[in-house]
Chain A
Amino acid sequence: MRELRVTPIKNGTVIDHIPAGMALKVLKILGIGETVSSTVTVAMHVPSKAMGWKDIVKVEDRELSAKEVDKIALIAPRATVNVIRNYNVAEKHVVRMPDRAVGILRCGNPNCITNLREPVESEFFVRPGEPPRVLCKYCDRELEDIAAAIV
């Protein structure tokens, strides 16, 4: 008997190769909460040849913005984003770690000028790695918990 854990979707996005345990953070990045209008499927702790274990998130009737993809890259550097149109994979790409993270993280240093009411977007330098290291352009501090700092 065939066991179908995750059904194919007609239109939407499949985010694969998320590090095991990070799927809920991906949902947070996508703003998926109580008021979501389409079907969202989450598979956690799925066996993976490349990663050992991984998480998968499928969101129907939605394609991701560049900013959302950058946010996902910061917590899931090896994630793949598959855009599904009419049951076919229309686009498939590996997320690319941005050199700079602009307006997507809040500085963890409470004394950083960007946490005041100033008309600037936060900006961080990203050094690749797993996990990547990010440094605030303004106060020079390294962000300790990237996932918690995503806005």
Chain B
Amino acid sequence: MTILEGLNKTFESKIRLGIMSVLVANESADFATLKALLGLTDGNLASHTRSLEEAGYIRCEKKFIGRKPNTTYIITQSGREAFTAHINALENFLRECKS
């Protein structure tokens, strides 16, 4: 089966794929928004964003709003490309299944 070629290992986790979906649609999102949208705990979200950051697909900006720390995640160009490639691979797979 060569069909699954082009699938990205980083996006195997549903949560990481969810994070990327949100960021592709919105460019950036803060920690609380992501947490609420995906229904995750702090620690869980943090570990997944860290792995995406290490892959260079997202970057994070930390700043203080008043006294509260605020973390915003922003999608990088390579992240956008990787995500698009992954979606294309999934769609190709479906197309080949149907034909």
The answer to whether A and B interact is no
Task: List residues of chain B with CB under 8 Å of any chain A CB.
Answer: none
